[in-house]
Structure 1
């Protein structure tokens, strides 16, 4: 299945994946809120081997002034991968992929943030990928959402994100790097659980209509699992004195 020098068995006869997980099992997820002193809000996430930091600044004045909107606030997101985040050193300059993911995350967060509450201002979300391992856009979105909540930005709900995909003709939850490279489809999903609203849905690969429906539902189920971890990160900070 791997198509490389060593054959990667993505799914064995017992339904166990290449990293030992069952088909409906996410990777280990750890989120910590309020990790940066100088940001208005921040979060750190480990999602599998992804390690990502998010910092939020604002609402603050928009510069240059003509970029501001008299009716609503604006949300700006920057997703950036550190040169050491991948095995081959990455050029520090923003790549087309980083620009695209920055836009995707911004558009996924906008329905959640009550931007009309603070016109003429901007909320800036900075996301730094320290280590990348498949599904980094979902992990980044999860961290950004917690950082916005930590900053006290008015939100309709947090956005939770988790990818589903198709591996060895099977729909699985939370696609890892090997499955992303050698699998058949990858579907990042962003979801607001309380409002039951999808804010991000992308598909790389080919699915039948039945597989598509199952993949969306699997992604949503993953988002609901992530949502509980996001909420715990905030309660740990605000109700347990910031201690683990």
Structure 2
């Protein structure tokens, strides 16, 4: 599919979004009672569940407790029904292991790991439906789950994709746009400070276009942060009301 089909003469994408417009995001915190923290997120048609357990004593004897900081364990998986093609191995394949490592790097740079020496935090994410930006949706869902678990973070960490179509930067790429053959950039950042914690490109960008594509992804991260922060505040407010907190205090 050519770029001309993905971007109309009016500058709109196939789903009607403007180039700098995010897909619709829906969130819910506290979806699992058994987990220390959990969250569900929809970014367009990409749907992800995240659960956090810990901090707790390390269960695997082969891993030595770190005397200085917590061990962050991440596991990424996709439901067998998450795509049009049935997956034989929902977890443990090369792609899942790569994504798990990316998540581990992202959250090691975000969690205040020095507060929990000789312990472990487990982060599990499951893609229920995939329509582009799987890693980003997992990061955003896991961030909400960590907040729900009460684990101190240096900052929120949010993730967003961007691309370039006919010289126009696009934010929050859908699966159709990602498979069109154009370049795709995936970025995770601390939105308040602007610090980038992960950057990955599927194709090469011309150096002249790279700064604007990165800027578009960063702006997307900041917009997602605004949405997630409102969701957290709403969740805390509703939970406070359910246990009878006096908001006047």
TM-score, normalising length from structure 2?
0.92
Are 2:75 and 1:71 equivalent residues in the alignment?
no
1:84 aligns with 2:81: yes
Aligned residues: 239
Deviation at 1:183, TM superposition (A): 3.8
Contact 1:78–1:125, Cα closer than 8 Å, also in 2: yes
State the partner residue of 1:237.
235
Please give the alpha-carbon distance, in whole angstroms, between the structure 2 residues aligned to 1:222 and 1:213.
14
Residue 220 of structure 1 corresponds to 218
Structure 1 unaligned blocks of 5 or more: none
Deviation of residue 98 (structure 1)? 0.9
Q: Which residue of 2 aligns with 1:10?
A: 6
Aligned counterpart, 1:52: 48
Regions of 4+ moved over 4 Å: none
Gaps of 5+ in 2: 242-249
Separation of aligned partners in 1, 2:28 and 2:240: 9
The aligned counterpart of 1:190 is 188
The SS at the match of 1:85 is: coil
Q: Alignment partner of 1:241: what SS?
A: helix
Q: Does the 8 Å CA contact 2:162/2:173 hold for their aligned counterparts?
A: yes
Kept in 2, the 8 Å contact 1:167–1:183? The answer is no
Equivalent positions of 1:96-175 (< 5 A) are 96-175=94-173
Q: Deviations over 1:144-165 (max 9, x none)?
A: 0111111011111110111111
TM-fit CA distance, 1:94: 2.2
The CA distance in 2 between the partners of 1:199 and 1:93, in whole Å, is 24
Structure 2: distance between partners of 1:85 and 1:225: 26
